[in-house]
């Protein structure tokens, strides 16, 4: 069985890279990666990389090379995909690039084509004409708000969802959201986010947050309105008004104009640090030097960064958005607050500093949650089972 993991770029997001690495180590199946080159990678021998063209010149070259390969392998496939592409694409450059990508995929024809972002899935459903099973992943933004803001995308989902062989979702919440665009039936596989066992910190030191100490708060994520940083910064202003000393570090953004103005306007420029982009390998260093992890998002599937914080023994304060209540039970293994509620965020952080709250019980329960439900090794096995089911025609 040949499984293609498609995210559009190589290397991809950390959780997709973890999936690729885990699958390569746990299966004898061939794994194929298709996408544009974004950096250097190093995988096991059973992972094959086929780069997409990065320029029009490369597209023309790849079109010629892989077109000849496909003609030799299957003339009927060559003419079928050429006809489909010429009928659907109207612009010269787009036609060349699309043909090149399709020839590359078909000349390395996988048995399973797993699209990591459902928003791009419709572009690959043509593979079903050639016996390839197509799986689409529900991960967050492309289900939460993209089809709400873009009605043509919502229409496309309604038209194309019936043609997928299976869907993968990181949370039950996303399944409910996706079901608004069609009956998903027995095609759904819920496989939540996960972290490698090596990320779990075994020697967790007892935590003690005292009013006289500087409370170190951490968030990790891109500068996007869905991440809710406006509400987190408003909460920080409340902490300062209450006389609580803190340092709030946001990893993943240098601070856009809006955030920089808000920080200045609230008078918390000295307390807030925009740390910019940080490599995935260095994120644990931030977890290990912080007191609290804050997820102020307006919506999430299940935020992997929260799982990573829990694995590192960091208490988590999260909005009750999306699939987060499927992971966090408030005051048991973390803390949940309402979405868009800056005062609620500030109140929880104040409580942690000023009340005698046993955080050690919280972090131990959080680590247990990871060990029981969110280990990468278990996630990889669930993916393997999904691929086998889809390949063999077994219903979920």
**pLDDT per position as a tens digit, 312-332:** 999 999 999 999 999 999 999
Residues 83-89, mean pLDDT to the nearest whole number: 91
Nearest alpha-carbon partner for 59 in 87, 33, 91, 13: 91
Question: Which pair of tokens denotes residue 19?
Answer: 């999936």
In what side-by-side order are the strands of the sheet with 292-295?
272-276, 246-251, 215-220, 292-295, 316-319, 335-337
Residue 259 has pLDDT above 90, yes or no: yes
Length of the chain: 396
Q: Which residue has the tokens 């544009």?
A: 36
Degrees (nearest 5) of the Cα angle 390, 13, 29? 35
Which single residue is written with the structure tokens 């247990």?
368
Q: Mean pLDDT in the chain? A: 93
- Alpha carbon 339 to its chain centroid, in Å, reads 20
Q: Does residue 185 sit in helix, strand or coil?
A: coil
Residues 240-249 pLDDT 10s? 999 999 999 9
Residue 25 has pLDDT above 80, yes or no: yes
pLDDT of 239 over the 90 cut = yes
| Fold designation for 198-373 | Rossmann fold (3.40.50)
Q: pLDDT by residue (tens digit) across 151-203?
A: 999 999 999 999 999 999 999 999 999 999 999 989 999 999 999 998 898 88
Give the whole-angstrom CA distance, residue 377 versus residue 166: 22
Task: Check whether 274 has a pLDDT greater than 90.
Answer: yes
Confidence of residue 334 (pLDDT cuts 50, 70, 90): very high
Element (H, E) at 218: strand 215-220
> Is residue 108 within 8 Å of residue 32, measured between CB atoms?
yes
How confident is the model over 99-141, as pLDDT tens digits? 999 999 999 999 999 999 999 999 999 999 999 999 999 988 8
Task: Check residue 207 and report its DSSP letter.
Answer: P
For residue 11, say if its preceding peptide bond is cis, omega within 30 degrees of 0. Answer: yes
Q: Do domains 2-51+111-194+376-392 and 198-373 have the same CATH topology?
A: yes
Quickly count: other Cβ atoms within 10 Å of residue 89's Cβ: 15
Please compute the mean of the pLDDT values over residues 355-361 and round it to a whole number: 84
In whole angstroms, how far apart are CA 57 and each of 33, 54, 62? 22, 8, 9
At 42-51, the pLDDT tens digits run 999 999 999 9
User: Which DSSP string do the residues of 133-176 spell out, in sequence order?
Assistant: EEEEEE-SHHHHTHHHH-HHHHHHHHHHGGG-SEEEES-HHHHH
Residue 168, CA distances (Å) to 357, 390, 393 in order? 38, 11, 16
Could you tell me what percent of the chain has a pLDDT over 70?
99
Return the pLDDT at 189.
96
Helix (H) or strand (E) holding 335: strand 335-337
What fold does the segment set 2-51+111-194+376-392 form as a domain?
Answer: Rossmann fold (3.40.50)
pLDDT confidence bin for 206, thresholds 50/70/90: low
Domain ranges of the chain: 2-51+111-194+376-392, 198-373
CA nearest neighbour of 222 among 254, 174, 258: 254
């Amino acid at each position: 069985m040949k499984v293609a993991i498609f995210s559009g770029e190589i290397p991809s997001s950390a959780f997709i890279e973890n999936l690729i690495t885990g699958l390569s180590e746990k299966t004898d199946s061939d794994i194929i990666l298709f996408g544009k080159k974004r950096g250097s990678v190093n995988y096991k021998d059973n992972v094959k990389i086929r780069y997409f063209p990065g320029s029009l010149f490369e597209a023309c070259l790849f079109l010629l090379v892989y077109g000849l390969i496909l003609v030799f392998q299957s003339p009927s496939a060559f003419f079928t995909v050429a006809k489909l592409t010429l009928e659907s694409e109207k612009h010269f450059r787009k036609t060349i690039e699309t043909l090149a990508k399709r020839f590359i995929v078909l000349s390395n024809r996988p048995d399973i084509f797993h699209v990591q972002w459902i928003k791009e899935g419709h572009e690959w459903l043509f593979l079903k004409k050639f016996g390839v099973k197509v799986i689409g992943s529900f991960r967050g933004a492309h289900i939460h708000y993209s089809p709400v803001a873009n009605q043509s995308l919502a229409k496309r989902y309604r038209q194309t969802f019936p043609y997928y062989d299976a869907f993968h979702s990181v949370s039950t919440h996303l399944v409910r959201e996706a079901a608004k665009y069609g009956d998903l039936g027995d095609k759904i596989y819920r496989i939540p986010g996960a972290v490698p066992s090596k990320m779990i910190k075994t020697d967790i030191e007892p935590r003690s947050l005292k009013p006289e100490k500087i409370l170190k708060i951490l968030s990790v994520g891109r500068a996007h309105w869905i991440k809710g940083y406006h509400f987190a910064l408003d909460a920080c202003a409340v902490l300062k008004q209450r006389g609580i000393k803190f340092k709030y570090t946001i990893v993943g953004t240098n601070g856009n104009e809006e955030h920089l103005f808000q920080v200045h306007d609230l008078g918390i420029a000295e307390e807030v640090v925009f740390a910019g982009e940080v490599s995935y390998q260095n994120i644990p260093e931030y977890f290990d030097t912080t007191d609290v992890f804050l997820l102020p998002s307006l919506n999430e599937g299940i935020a992997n960064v929260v799982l990573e914080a829990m694995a590192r023994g960091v208490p988590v304060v999260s909005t009750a958005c999306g699939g987060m209540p499927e992971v966090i039970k408030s005051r048991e293994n973390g803390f949940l607050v309402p979405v868009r509620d800056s005062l609620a965020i500030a109140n929880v952080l104040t409580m942690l500093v000023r009340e005698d709250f046993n955080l050690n019980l919280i972090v131990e329960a959080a680590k247990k949650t990871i060990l029981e439900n969110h280990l990468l090794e278990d996630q990889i096995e669930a993916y393997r089972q999904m691929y086998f089911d889809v390949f063999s025609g077994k219903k979920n």
